[in-house]
Amino acid sequence: MSGKTRSLFGTAFKHFLNSLKPRQTARVYVGDDYHGNKYYEIPADPSRGKRHPQRWYVPPVDMRYDQEHMPAEWDAWLRNRRPEPPGESELRENLTIATMKKQNADKLEEKYIKKPDSTTKESAKPSYPVYDDYETTPGEGIKQN
């Protein structure tokens, strides 16, 4: 007897037993970023029906999956928007650009922060706009300067 069965029950039972067996798939270490995240991939295998690779990352602190600490290049790679992982030079260039933008934004913020003027008192300011053509208090007529 060859061990192969053609019955529906036998085929279903064989597939059920095969689903319980642990699959030995080799994960491939792809790289890491400057936050300490490590990125892995299981390549696509069209012969087994896997058209897309499986990609994931492992954060440096266990169970601390936080997207704000992930560079955009690695995020694009994880979501299959780019086929190749980012290189070290690309990550370094984009990090320097991002830090430069943050520094410039901080300088602009310091330059354009309006400090309260000591000559104007807070109580003297009306809480709403005052127009010459409209009454300030209903029934008292138009404001005269």
DSSP secondary structure letter of residue 139: T
Residue 62: is its pLDDT beyond 90?
no
Q: How far is CA 33 from the centre of its chain?
A: 14
Residue 19: both structure tokens together: 């689903």
Residues 70-125 have pLDDT tens digits of 888 999 999 999 999 999 999 999 989 999 999 999 999 988 886 555 555 566 66
Q: How far apart are CA 102 and CA 80, in angstroms?
A: 28
Q: What is the pTM for the complete model shown?
A: 0.56
Residue 143: both structure tokens together: 């404001």
* Degrees to nearest 5, angle at CA 98 with 36 and 66: 40
Residue 89: both structure tokens together: 């030079």
pLDDT average, residue stretch 23-44: 86
Residue 134: both structure tokens together: 């409209």
Residues 82/53, Cβ–Cβ less than 8 Å? no
